[in-house]
Structure 1
Amino acid sequence: MTGQRYCPPPGLLLPPPNNAQPFTPTIKLETTLKSNLWFNETTIAIKASIGGTPAFEYAHQPGSKQISNLHDTKFRIASATKLFTVLAVLLSRAQIGWEDSITQFVPGLNDASYNDVTIGALAGQTSGLGRFGYVGDLSLTPGFSTAQLGLPNSARQLPGCDAFPGGKPCSRDQVIAMFNDAAYAPTSPNSGPLYSNIAYNLLGMALEQVHSQSYEQAIQELIFDPIGMRNSSFDTPSNGSDAILPQAGDQWFAAPFGNFNPSGGIWSTPNDMLLFLEALQTHKLLSPAQTRKWLQPSSLLPSLQQLLGAPWEIFRPTDIDVAVPRPIDLYTKAGGVSGYSSHEVLVPEYGVALTIHAAGKYATMAVQNILPLVAKPLIAHADEQARAQATTKYVGTYRSAEGNSSITLALDDGPGLKIERAFMNGVAIIPALAAVQGVNPSDASARLYPTGADSQGSEKESWSIFINRMKIGEGRAFAELDCASWNWGDAARYAGQPLDRIVFDMSQGKAVGVELVGWRTVLKKVE
């Protein structure tokens, strides 16, 4: 069998779609949702957009008492709050450095224990701190008996503060005393990640210190107000007409979170949360470069399909039905407490923003089930839209006035755009570029990828030529070392200019010409 296997460079295969058509869920999706045991006991609100264009929404509330618009109704987002805490830290970069020790911002912390605990380690779950502190300690749990686990009796009495959401909050002195207690102090900072809520409590205290105001007010001024999140706050709603609240007998955590607000205290609506995700996409608060840096993974996990960021939980599923099968990067943050669950999702490759909220005793199970049911077909739809857009915007032949230089681009079943033919001054340049790079020119082929992220959507879009180096039938190298495309770009230059760079001249959203930078040549689209 002859032909090419593909090893595309990191980043986009094609630009994300603009003005995407709405995603219409299949009957199967509706039927699958309704077939779950949790469906008739769970309130659900889902909202999604592609490139800022509304793509999909769904709402379901069981029972006879119905709220008219669940997308404008408050749910507790729980640990999705951590996105706001880290974003507030990033927006405070003039006062808080990512590699600064937390001891600079929380007076009273034991220097010996916390000097190596950085802001970045706290945000990325590698601080070495445990999960909860006093919260959830079995010795404070009503009805717990040491006999259940064969535990000995202990004379040590913990403070009853912060024991459960809604309980008496610990004072600042009590919080610092807990962190300085050897039983709660961090162990081996910067080792493997361990999920820690109290790490975010420290980040909240750091924000209070540098802004000289409460954490809650800092989030209001840094994020809620600039974005326009008018229906988001840390106050537990009192009105069941604009929030999903527990009824008599429901064991939900609807009480204030107190010291744990930086970890999970926000109440928000699906509309507000989609507004938040779209603000990240459009760089309303962070620049494109800062946003990309924030989306970088910070830790590896045992699964090949999971990475960890700060606080992004990055999934890389390989079973999404896209035209070019590959791992698709989903930047997510889950949140869950008894009675409430949420999942916030960004898929930068396609401009997808997705927010899922649920309330009820099966809320966590519902959100876990819903995420793949909605995300997979939604991303597949966005892939179809991106490919249709690429056909309209870029596919065709571009030629010089003299006719001895031309390039023809096509969309096939491979990644990026296929370069069907490319001649400069009468020379076939793909075999020539292959030879320069040490690739056999006899059957050389190449593809075009959008590698200038900041140029996408502008009048001058920067793309790159990549020579295909992998043949069908060849076995994979150890650790796939034969697929090192990140090391193949900018392989050759002439008089300072890269020979792999192509710049599309865009007019009214379509390519009307293309510049081959290294050849100092501009071609006009002719068909």
Structure 2
Amino acid sequence: MTYAKYCLPPGYSLPPPIAVQPLLLTAELEHALKSRTWYSKTTIAIKASLGGKLIFHHAHRASHEDAANLYDTKIRIASVTKVFTVLAVLLSRAEIRWEDSITKYIPGLDEAAYADVTIGALAGHTSGLGRFGYTGDLALIPGFSPAQLGLPEVTHTLPGCDAFPGGEVCSRFQVLDMFNDPAYSPTTINTEPLYTNIAFNLLGMALEHVHSKPYEQIIQELIFAPIGMHASSFETPNAIDGILPQAGERWFAAPFGNFNPSGGIWSTPNDMLLFLEALQSHKLLSAAQTRKWLQPSSLLPSLHQLIGAPWEIFRPTDIDVAVPRPINLYAKAGGVAGYSSYAVLVPEYNIALTIHAAGNDATRAVQDMLPLIAKPLISHADEQVRSRVSVNYAGTYRSNDDNKSISLVVDDGPGLLVQSAIMNGVAIIPALAKMQGLDPSNATARLYPTDPDSNGSNKEHWSLLLDRAKDGAARGFAEQECASWNWGDTARYGGQPLDRIVFHMREGKAIGVALVGWRTTVLDRLES
């Protein structure tokens, strides 16, 4: 694998594409979708954009009616709502601090039991709380027989509220009684993550406390209205505006009550794509705040999964890209009986993807569709970005006296290969390799766009990194010999970094380049 040949630095291999050709529904992809057993009986809607430009969409109604208006039809997004709840907390940073105890914001909550449960722990599933609370308790399910699991009859009576969506809604006092009951209190706080719904109920209560408004109004004012998500709400839609169960189908279409912060939003594919694009373009959070939000907060046993707040971060390595490597997908899944969804961001390629399904097999459908759609989307974007970089950055840059030059190409490796670099008559790549204790005779180096804030500006900052190929076992224990995050900014001269390269851009194309440490004037790009 090409991936094994390089120790890639953190960040992007190449700058995200700005606009690409649409990804067409190929015969292969269409067959892959239609061959699934769930396809004919499941209503689905998929939309994807790259840099805010729609590049893929597909919709299908189980009823085989016209699916064109599905993109404006409400479908329950379930636990994707958690992203909105955490975003509302981040937008309330003047009132709610990430490291504060939740007891600061919920009067009456057991201070001894919850003292170490922070806002961040609740958002990142490390609060030590269980999954549901009263909801889903087998003792409250009509017709459940304890004998079928060998359970004894219980004498402790639960209140019967918040038993399931659409049931009797617990009062605030009953909610606090539940959280303060030792049976539901948090255990082993800030350890391995455990998926929890009731943690987000607490976040919703904290938002209500600091804003003195209902949670639903807070989401409307902080997120829906500023972005223009006019079709999104917490009320169950009518049969014209939404996808609702037919007679005999046991879908969770009823209001979620106290569980609204965990999974109560109804939204349309168009609104959800608008939401994801707003996150990409930093309409609500700054670029730095967004990147901080996307950072993982917990590890999982899988090498391909991490947990954020509340992101479910996938790192697949089986996507067909020119340089196989882990690609970070920041996702949030949602699912209740009858409805399932995915919201996905792929920052490296500026991709936003939203997947919705309604039907008895909705969860299986969405799980199947994520790789079916995401993999060709990313492959398509990768082809486009490499083509764009080849046209807009590759080439030879030279000073007027020919004493300074740098030649860049797109090859089969990551970043931009430095084919040659001469500064004041000195070949600097072998010289840098010797200084860093590497063999100068076969030294190679690459440029990487390690400053995302400068991407798309008139001066883009890239970094120069020497290749340190480590194949297979040569990477050492836990790949410790590929600690590329520790190789940047290794040398400065007169305060200026030798690994800083600045492209001077005009209308998206490089017209010159400056090597900061060498104090070069801009080297002009030669016409090809």
Give the structure 2 partner of residue 361 of structure 1: 360
Between the aligned partners of 2:402 and 2:32, the Cα distance in structure 1 is 57
Gaps of 5+ in 1: none
Paired residue type of 2:475: R
Between the aligned partners of 1:387 and 1:306, the Cα distance in structure 2 is 27
Give the structure 1 partner of residue 326 of structure 2: 327
User: What pairs up with 1:137-152 in 2 under 5 angstroms?
Assistant: 137-152=137-152
Cα deviation 1:48-92 (Å, max 9, x = unaligned): 001111100000002255454100100000000000000000000
Paired residue type of 1:418: L
Paired residue type of 2:201: N
Give the structure 2 partner of residue 389 of structure 1: 388
Q: Alpha-carbon deviation of 1:153?
A: 1.3
Between the aligned partners of 2:153 and 2:130, the Cα distance in structure 1 is 23
Number of corresponding residues: 524
Gaps of 5+ in 2: none
Give the structure 2 partner of residue 311 of structure 1: 310
Between the aligned partners of 1:375 and 1:70, the Cα distance in structure 2 is 20
Paired residue type of 2:458: E
Cα deviation 1:380-402 (Å, max 9, x = unaligned): 00101110110111000000011
Range with greater deviation from structure 2 (466-475 or 130-139)? 466-475
Between the aligned partners of 1:152 and 1:184, the Cα distance in structure 2 is 20
Between the aligned partners of 1:39 and 1:349, the Cα distance in structure 2 is 31
1:298 maps to 2:300: no
Between the aligned partners of 2:125 and 2:139, the Cα distance in structure 1 is 26
Q: Alpha-carbon deviation of 1:437?
A: 1.4
Cα deviation 1:108-144 (Å, max 9, x = unaligned): 0001100000000000000000000000000000110
Q: Alpha-carbon deviation of 1:441?
A: 1.0
Give the structure 2 partner of residue 121 of structure 1: 121
1:214 maps to 2:214: yes
Aligned pair in 2 of structure 1 residues 472, 263: CA closer, same or farther (>3 Å)?
Answer: closer
Aligned pair in 2 of structure 1 residues 16, 145: CA closer, same or farther (>3 Å)?
Answer: same
Between the aligned partners of 2:250 and 2:179, the Cα distance in structure 1 is 29
Q: Alpha-carbon deviation of 1:212?
A: 0.6
Q: Alpha-carbon deviation of 1:486?
A: 0.3
Give the structure 2 partner of residue 153 of structure 1: 153
Contact 1:74/1:269 (<8 A) preserved? yes
Give the structure 2 partner of residue 260 of structure 1: 259
User: What pairs up with 1:59-458 in 2 under 5 angstroms?
Assistant: 59-63=59-63, 65-66=65-66, 68-237=68-237, 239-458=238-457
Match of 1:470, SS state, is coil
Paired residue type of 1:331: Y
Between the aligned partners of 2:379 and 2:7, the Cα distance in structure 1 is 21
The TM-score with structure 2 as length reference comes to 0.98
Identity of aligned residues (%): 71
Q: Alpha-carbon deviation of 1:475?
A: 2.3
Between the aligned partners of 2:64 and 2:419, the Cα distance in structure 1 is 61
Between the aligned partners of 2:360 and 2:135, the Cα distance in structure 1 is 21
List structure 1 runs of 4+ shifted beyond 6 angstroms. none
Cα deviation 1:196-226 (Å, max 9, x = unaligned): 1000000000000011100000000000000
Match of 2:501, SS state, is strand
Between the aligned partners of 1:368 and 1:332, the Cα distance in structure 2 is 12
1:52 maps to 2:58: no
Please, what is the CA RMSD of the aligned residues?
Answer: 1.2
Q: Alpha-carbon deviation of 1:154?
A: 1.4
Contact 2:470/2:482 (<8 A) preserved? no
The TM-score with structure 1 as length reference comes to 0.98
Paired residue type of 1:273: M
Contact 1:67/1:241 (<8 A) preserved? no
Between the aligned partners of 2:306 and 2:456, the Cα distance in structure 1 is 29
Contact 2:236/2:255 (<8 A) preserved? yes
Q: Alpha-carbon deviation of 1:472?
A: 5.1
Match of 2:402, SS state, is coil
1:27 maps to 2:27: yes
Contact 1:405/1:423 (<8 A) preserved? yes
Paired residue type of 2:114: Y
Aligned pair in 2 of structure 1 residues 375, 68: CA closer, same or farther (>3 Å)?
Answer: closer
Paired residue type of 1:159: P
Between the aligned partners of 1:197 and 1:163, the Cα distance in structure 2 is 13
Between the aligned partners of 2:342 and 2:358, the Cα distance in structure 1 is 12
Paired residue type of 2:226: P
Between the aligned partners of 1:263 and 1:276, the Cα distance in structure 2 is 17
Match of 1:475, SS state, is helix
Q: Alpha-carbon deviation of 1:5?
A: 2.2
Between the aligned partners of 2:146 and 2:239, the Cα distance in structure 1 is 39
Cα deviation 1:303-341 (Å, max 9, x = unaligned): 000000000000000100000001100000000000000
